[in-house]
Structure 1
Amino acid sequence: MFRFTATGRFALAALLAFGAASAALAAEVPLTLREALSRTLQSNPDLAAYQYVLKAQDGLVTQAGLKPNPRLTADLENVLGTGDTSGFDAAELTIGLSQLIELDGLRDKRVASARLEREGLEVEGHIARLDLLAETARRFVSLVSQQEEHRLAHLAVELADKTAAAVKRRVEAAKSPEAELDRAAVALERARIADAHAEHELLAARSDLAASWGAAMPDFTEAAADLYQLPEIAPYPDLLTALERTPDLTRYLSQARLRESEITLALASRRPGIEIGAGLRRQQAVRDTALVFSVGIPLLTSDRNQGRIAAAEALRDGAEAQRIAALVNARAQLFRNHRELLDLRQQVSALRERALPQIEAALKKTEYAYERGRYSYLELVDAQRELVAVRDSLIDAATAYHLTLIEIERLSGLSASR
């Protein structure tokens, strides 16, 4: 058993027994869940693509920290007019260089906002990783379940074949009508068809799991796990406490911090700064050159960033409302899944410890009685169907247990087992 928490050890593996963590590079080596999760983290195409989103935001952080460029200006006055200003004799040429001086730490606030946005993207990326790990675990469980279904289909073929042989012996002994031979043959053929379908589903489950890490073809033939090993459930209060610390909920706190930063930035941006400049002026009429200086101060008239400030405040308050709503829904889902897990554990226990041994014993008795002519063909087939049905129900219940456990661990970010 191993764990993967929200900080890199999210416990999706508590549900099954695992073999060694060596890479399944040869077809005969079973694949463990640990290896499947490791491959997903290393090679999943979606995770690889998300790194470029973070790199793009790094560029925006760098851009936010750059100072405004200086501005070069050139003004030519008193030319091509009338009288004394005709031609270029009275021309005045001014060449200046100006620089915007940002006030109130505007640049620092811009950088802080861009960094907070990157933190939000990191949280989203972490959520994406947890979702992919959970999906890989689901596919792994589905493969283990399909392996059991395939074994059950083989068992059904063996039972049908055994029944056909028994019917043949009774028909040859003139103890059963020949029509039962045809019925037994049809039942055997249907069992073989179901077995072939189970083989197809097994191949598809392997392919789905391999796709979790971008592999075109699986390089393994079996998932190494015991479907019927059910971990103990952690106390519900522990899971409930961990729920509030999951990335799914903390991202709303990140959003609220980002909106606060945007409000601060919008307030500071109402007055971006003071523009100061200096230059040279050439007065052609008197052949003189002089220095000129300039100062530019923006006037706060109609645009004071009221709209941006109001929008950021609304988004900040909305983030808190969304967090509360998400927490309420997550608590309800956790409670429902936790109760479902308890119920499924009871189902698996009842089927495995009581129902299955009883139906196996009943089938042996029915086979014995059929061979001696005390039970009919229909009674034998019905006992076989009951056995297959109980085993199928056991597979379904155990599979549902592990899938529900994955949902609990995904919701709480904490191992649901001790």
Structure 2
Amino acid sequence: MRMTFMLPAFWLAAVGYPAAPFALAAEPQALTLTQALQRTLQHDATLQAFPYQLRMAEAAQLQAAVRPSPELAVTLENVAGSGDSRGLSGAELSLSLSQQIELGQKRERRLELAQGQSQLQRDNYELARLEALANTTEHYLQLLRLQQLRQWAAANISREQALLNTAQLRSNAGTLLDADISRIKLRLVRSKITLADINQAIESRRYRLAAGWNAAPDFARVSGDLAALPQLPPLSILQSQLQHSTTLQRYVTLQRIAQSQLRLTEANSQADIRWSVGLKRNEATNDTSLLLGFSLPLNLTDPNPGQRRAQLAEQQLMAMQQQLSATQLSLLLQQQWLALEQLRGTVQAIDTLLLPEAMQLRQLSLSGYQQGQIDLLSVLSAEEELAQAGRDLIESQSNFHLNLLQLERLTGQPITLNSTEPVITAEKNND
């Protein structure tokens, strides 16, 4: 999966940063989402176990196809007795070959069950793969959010430092109280503490991201930006994708397994026949005769009534769970879709209404302060409004992508529709 990001120039101007440093994708040591996902697929501990489990499932299919082996029986009678049976004089030697014949399609039912269990392993692998990729993407997005918060915090410090310099010039001229200088310094210290906390959180998140491929982080940052919001498919399309998702398909597999177990139990309830053929040698009469045999157990009652009833109940349980899960996931998908549409509106309102107003308020307040028309508290309030608007934008964009990730988790499909806005392009590598 690959994400390509573009950062709006307006936001760069609002926080006081030039546009050039944000050509992130070409920077060395900047990890891309594609690289992170590839490393996860190659080195995730859970995924590494599945090839062995698939081999075990294939071996079970091979074992299920084995037919009963023929049996060779040798019997020696009337030996080491007395009279005419002294020594081997009256010995009777029987040599026979027997074969069990399975009735009720037992072999076919065993194969059917083994194939269903193999398919369940593949479904489990696909779910584990999607979960591992989703976890990596979530850590990636959280790290991206922290990086943008670091830029936001640095911009706040830059503005507050500039305000402190202006205030100190006024203080030197005797037009500002020392308490006002202390107030600005206090805000600056708090901003620096916030930046230090964000830097610490970035380091922690880097290690959590790299833990997905069981390695220490060898990257300084991740590339991208959160401002690109893809358009969502219609809800009807997402509902259709949900019906074909691996989560619901796994319930179908479980139903088939339960049905196969029931069929195998019914087949095992039918008795098998055994035939035999052989020779018999009588030393006393020097005669040789042919032996023919046939046996069939008499099952006067059902040998597996409880097992049959339990497996039938399990099959019905799987069907009920599939229906309940489909309804629950459908409602959850609709909730996520509505939340994403609301978040898109929130991001647009902050970007086009709140942030420009906060930026204008700051500029007017700073200009009035420099002319002595506005007090420091009004300027600090305007600075707080701008800082809060910037953070609200980052948090809303981050929440959009995290909710989008939950939507992709439900459907198992990336959101790749084109948009007039900068979009996230997602490429999923089939492995």
Would the TM-score normalized by the shorter structure come out above 0.5? yes
Q: Tell me the CA shift for residue 78 of structure 1.
A: 5.3
Which range is displaced more, 372-381 or 333-342? 372-381
One-letter code aligned to 2:309: A
- Local SS of the residue matching 1:379: helix
Distance 1:328 1:83, change over 3 A: farther
Aligned: 1:68 with 2:52 = no
> Residues 278 and 292 of structure 1 are in contact (CA less than 8 Å); yes or no, is this contact kept in structure 2?
yes
Displacement of 1:308 in angstroms is 2.9
Matched, 1:130 2:144: no
Tell me the equivalent position of 2:383. 384
1:294 aligned counterpart, secondary structure: strand
Letter in 2 for 1:151: Q
Paired residue secondary structure (2:177): coil
Structure 2 partner of 1:332? 331
2-structure distance, mates of 1:64, 1:414: 35
Q: 1:314 Cα shift?
A: 1.8
Take 1:227 and 1:85, find their aligned partners in 2: how far apart are those partners? Answer: 99
Contact kept? 1:281, 1:292, Cα under 8 Å: yes
Question: What amino acid sits opposite 1:130 in the alignment?
Answer: L
* Alignment partner of 1:230 is 2:218: no
Aligned: 1:154 with 2:142: no
Identical residues among aligned pairs (%): 29
Which residue of structure 1 aligns with residue 308 of structure 2?
A: 309
Aligned twin of 1:374: 373
The change in CA–CA distance for 1:81 and 1:162 in structure 2 (over 3 A counts) is: farther
Contact 1:233 1:416 in 2 (8 A): yes
Whether the aligned pair in 1 keeps the contact of 2:333 and 2:407 (CA below 8 Å) is yes
CA RMSD of superposed structures (Å): 2.9
Corresponding residue for residue 393 of structure 2? 394
Letter in 1 for 2:5: A
* Residue 28 of structure 1: aligned partner: 28
CA contact (8 A) 2:104 2:268 kept: no
Quote the offset at 1:89 in angstroms: 6.6
Contact 1:78 1:92 (C-alpha < 8 Å) held by counterparts: yes
1:37 aligned residue: 37
Q: How far is the alpha carbon of 1:328 from its aligned partner?
A: 0.6
> What per-residue deviation string (whole Å, max 9, x for no partner) do you get for residues 263-315 of structure 1?
22222222252222234445465565544332221221344332332222222
Aligned positions of 1:232-381 closer than 5 A: 232-283=231-282, 286=285, 290-381=289-380
Contact 1:31–1:222 (Cα < 8 Å) also in 2: yes
Flag the 1:262–1:18 CA change in 2: closer, same or farther, 3 A.
Answer: farther
Q: Is the 8 A contact 1:92 1:283 kept in 2?
A: yes
**What secondary structure, in the 3-state scheme, does the structure 1 residue paired with 2:277 have?**
strand
Aligned equivalent of 2:203 = 203
| Change in CA separation of 1:169 and 1:81 when aligned onto 2, cut-off 3 Å | farther
Q: CA deviation at 1:231?
A: 1.0
Report if aligned partners of 1:280, 1:290 keep a CA contact under 8 Å in 2. yes
Q: Check 1:366–1:206 CA distance in 2 against 1; reply closer, same or farther (3 A cut).
A: same
Deviation, 1:356, is: 0.8
Q: Deviations over 1:248-267 (max 9, x none)?
A: 11222222222222222222
> 1:338 Cα deviation (Å)?
0.8
SS of aligned partner of 1:69: coil
- 1:11-39 per-position Cα deviation (integer Å, ceiling 9, x unaligned): xx67x5389xxxx9998143322332233
- Displacement, 1:186? 3.0
CA distance in 1, matches of 2:215, 2:26: 16
Amino acid at match of 2:411: S
Moved more, 284-293 or 166-175: 284-293
Contact 2:150 2:199 in 1 (8 A): yes
Q: Partners of 2:82 and 2:25 in 1: how far apart?
A: 91
Conserved in 1, the CA contact under 8 Å of 2:45 and 2:214?
no
Contact 2:278–2:291, Cα closer than 8 Å, also in 1: yes
TM-score normalized with structure 2 length? 0.84
- Structure 1's unaligned 5+ residue stretches are 3-12
CA–CA distance in structure 2, aligned partners of residues 96 and 116 of structure 1: 39
Secondary structure of the structure 2 residue equivalent to 1:373: coil
TM-score for the superposition, normalised by structure 1: 0.86
Counterpart Cα distance in 2 of 1:68 and 1:27: 65
How far apart are 1:59 and its partner, in Å? 0.8
Q: Which runs of 5+ in 2 are unaligned?
A: 8-23, 418-431
